[in-house]
């Protein structure tokens, strides 16, 4: 799914998120564990104002576990509760209700003291496209509710999905837009597949990805493509991968587009193992 984010769409999406936030006790902010900062929306704090927030690092199965731990610590140090989850398998899901209850204990105690009848916690999931909102909603609902490809701008009556006895979830997520202004953020979003390859130049994305792998995960890059060594000149890496994998045009010229498609496909399908493309240290 691609959404072209024009200012009008952003304004509308923002309004819709704010409307949803009014109805709930707690926000589940879904981010991609492989890019926990770049997959956040810069205006999310403003939109959720002072509602409690639990950050869910989704697709943790695809991320580097040691980096995920660093990110959890980073968010917690900044005063946000954060947990890793995998919405496809359901791993980490049980904690969502338990932590929400803990976070809302005071509010619900006060309601009880005032004689308000106990009710389930109300929550909404917010996040950028492709971060896994629909997958998570369907998992929590234990059936298919949200349509993948849910678009901003389509309004329908809000409905609550019961998640056990203690949680109610809005059936449509709040859709946020990614940060486009920063080139590095765009390259990370493209590398992980959060935005379509056509938005940025395919070879530019791959140059970024190969440089990143050369610096951070050189052994995995070497093993995957049978490289003797990692060169500073990224063109040599392109050439070697092209030769090894037969991405060659007539006349023996390396087909850089084919190399790019291959490398990105393999990164996204975890052929190079679980990867995280940014560290909290870059943001501190
Ligand atoms: P969205 O509503 O936020 O736009 O995202 P959506 O749920 O559609 O998820 C986007 C893609 O991410 C889907 O893959 C989905 O299966 C995958 N996904 C979601 N959560 C997780 C997770 O925790 N781990 C992993 N590994 N993948 C996850 P897709 O290729 O677009 O579709 P499909 O392969 O499921 O058909």
Best residue for ligand 1 mutational test, from 31, 64, 87, 169 (most atoms within 8 Å of Cβ): 87
Question: What is the structure's pLDDT at 156?
Answer: 62
Q: What is the dihedral of CA 99, 105, 111, 113, to 10 degrees?
A: 150
Q: Report which ligand 1 atom has the smallest distance to the Cα of 60.
A: 23
Q: What is the dihedral of CA 195, 200, 202, 205, to 10 degrees?
A: -80
Q: Where are the beta strands (DSSP E) in the chain?
A: 26-32, 53-58, 81-84, 121-127, 160-163, 167-170, 174-175
| Phi, psi dihedral angles at 28 (to 5 degrees) | -100, 105
Q: Closest Cα partner for 133 from 69, 194, 211?
A: 194
Q: What angle do CA 241, 33, 85 make, to 5 degrees?
A: 125
Give pLDDT < 50 ranges for the chain. 1, 148-149
Can you spell out the DSSP letters for 18-82? HHHHHT-SEEEEEEETTSTTTTS-TTHHHHHTTS-EEEEEE-GGGS-HHHHHHHHHHHHHTT-EE
Q: Which residue is closest in CA terms to ligand 1's atom 24?
A: 59
Q: Which residue is closest in CA terms to ligand 1's atom 8?
A: 148
Q: How many CB atoms lie within 10 A of CB 2?
A: 11
The bridge status of strand 167-170 relative to strand 160-163 is antiparallel
Question: What is the structure's pLDDT at 5?
Answer: 85
Question: What is the structure's pLDDT at 143?
Answer: 77
Q: Which residue is closest in CA terms to ligand 1's atom 15?
A: 132
Over residues 143-195, the pLDDT tens digits come to 777 554 455 555 567 799 999 999 999 999 999 999 888 899 999 999 999 98
Q: Report which ligand 1 atom has the smallest distance to the Cα of 131.
A: 3
**Cβ(127) – ligand 1 distance below 6 Å:** yes
Q: Closest Cα partner for 88 from 167, 33, 35, 170?
A: 33
């Amino acid at each position: 799914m691609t959404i072209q984010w024009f200012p009008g769409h952003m304004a509308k999406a923002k309004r819709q998120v704010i409307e949803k936030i009014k109805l709930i006790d707690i926000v589940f902010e879904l981010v991609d564990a492989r890019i926990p900062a770049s997959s956040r929306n810069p205006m999310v704090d403003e939109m959720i104002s002072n509602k409690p927030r639990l950050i869910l690092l989704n697709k943790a199965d695809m991320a580097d576990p040691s980096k995920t731990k660093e990110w959890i610590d980073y968010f917690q140090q900044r005063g946000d509760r954060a947990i890793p989850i995998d919405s496809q398998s359901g791993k980490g899901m049980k904690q969502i209700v338990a932590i929400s209850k803990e976070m809302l204990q005071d509010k619900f105690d006060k309601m009880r003291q005032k004689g308000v009848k106990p009710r389930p916690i109300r929550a909404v999931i917010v996040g950028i496209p492709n971060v896994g909102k629909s997958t998570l909603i369907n998992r929590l609902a234990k059936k298919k509710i949200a349509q993948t490809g849910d678009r901003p701008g389509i309004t329908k009556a809000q409905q609550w999905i019961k998640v056990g006895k203690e949680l109610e979830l809005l059936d449509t997520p709040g859709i946020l837009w990614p940060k486009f202004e920063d080139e590095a953020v765009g390259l990370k979003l493209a590398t992980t597949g959060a935005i379509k390859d056509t938005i940025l130049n395919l070879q530019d994305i791959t140059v970024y990805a190969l440089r990143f792998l050369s610096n951070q995960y050189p052994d995995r890059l070497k093993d995957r493509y049978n490289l003797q060594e990692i060169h500073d000149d990224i063109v040599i890496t392109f050439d070697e991968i092209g030769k090894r994998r037969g991405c060659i045009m007539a006349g023996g010229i390396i087909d850089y587009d084919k190399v790019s498609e291959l490398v990105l496909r393999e990164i996204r399908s975890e052929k190079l193992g679980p990867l995280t493309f940014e560290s909290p240290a870059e943001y501190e």
